[in-house]
Chains A and B, each alone.
Chain A
Amino acid sequence: IAGITQAPTSQILAAGRRMTLRCTQDMRHNAMYWYRQDLGLGLRLIHYSNTAGTTGKGEVPDGYSVSRANTDDFPLTLASAVPSQTSVYFCASSQKQGASEAFFGQGTRLTVV
């Protein structure tokens, strides 16, 4: 089934630990995004990639890094997790950046304790 897949679906992580959230799409979309969703704040962009080999910072990039080695994969890494990074993380992809329907993964619920 074509789509976008995230792993893990949920995780409890000790503060200070390193964690990589995985995201894979099989729609051959050029653009990919990582958002976090928090109550009252909506979806906020962490990092994006317009095409394989390029990445950019979004609205809330601090404490996160990404890579885009190929079209399909866009992992998000928390180098040293802090409790304020407790959130639901959504990976998304679209054919091109901006005016193009975005498809979202099912989300990763991360709790940092």
Chain B
Amino acid sequence: GQNIDQPTEMTATEGAIVQINCTYQTSGFNGLFWYQQHAGEAPTFLSYNVLDGLEEKGRFSSFLSRSKGYSYLLLKELQMKDSASYLCAVDQTGANNLFFGTGTRLTVIP
């Protein structure tokens, strides 16, 4: 089975940095995805981590620690358009799909 936990909501200020955490417990782990979902829209891919460490992609970075069952998404220089839900998803060994957390709704305020 799998258990994925994320904070439900976060608020941050435009221009600031925010870190969204995700912890997981799974029987077999192949990798972790982060998706962004604006209200009323489809989720879109942000990042994928399979090895420990930090993956940087522009203003967004994602970190993974396999031994701790922990990942975070780091958003720098926040913009109003970053207000969205951020979904953590785990690829479990032998599974046919990704398992998603319930998502973190981020609100960026001026």
Mark A residues whose CB is within 8 Å of B: 31, 33, 35, 40-45, 48, 50, 56, 58, 90, 97-99, 101-107
Task: Supply 28 A–B pairs (Cβ within 8 Å), ascending by A.
Answer: A31-B96, A33-B97, A35-B100, A40-B102, A41-B102, A42-B103, A43-B87, A43-B89, A44-B100, A45-B97, A48-B96, A56-B96, A97-B95, A97-B96, A97-B97, A98-B91, A98-B92, A98-B96, A99-B30, A101-B48, A102-B33, A102-B98, A103-B45, A104-B43, A104-B44, A105-B42, A106-B42, A107-B42
Report the interface size class on chain B. Answer: 20 to 34
Q: A98-B91, A107-B42 are in contact. List 6 more A-B contacts (CB 8 A).
A: A41-B102, A42-B103, A101-B45, A101-B48, A104-B44, A106-B42
Question: Max chain A CB contacts within 10 Å: which of B92, B98, B102?
Answer: B98
Taking CB atoms, residues of chain B closer than 8 Å to A103 are 45
Cα of A44 to Cα of B48 in the assembled complex, Å: 20
Cα of A102 to Cα of B96 in the assembled complex, Å: 12
Taking CB atoms, residues of chain A closer than 8 Å to B50 are 99
Which of A56, A101, A104 is B42 in contact with, Cβ under 8 Å? A104
> CB-nearest residue of chain B relative to A43?
B100
Cα of A6 to Cα of B87 in the assembled complex, Å: 21
Which of A33, A40, A42 is B87 in contact with, Cβ under 8 Å? A42
> CB-nearest residue of chain A relative to B47?
A101
Which of B48, B95, B102 is A42 in contact with, Cβ under 8 Å? B102
Taking CB atoms, residues of chain A closer than 8 Å to B31 are 99
Minimum C-beta distance from B38 to chain A (A): 11
Cα of A103 to Cα of B95 in the assembled complex, Å: 18
Taking CB atoms, residues of chain A closer than 8 Å to B41 are 106-107
Cα of A42 to Cα of B87 in the assembled complex, Å: 8
Q: A42-B102, A99-B30, A99-B91 are in contact. Are A48 and B42 (CB under 8 A)?
A: no
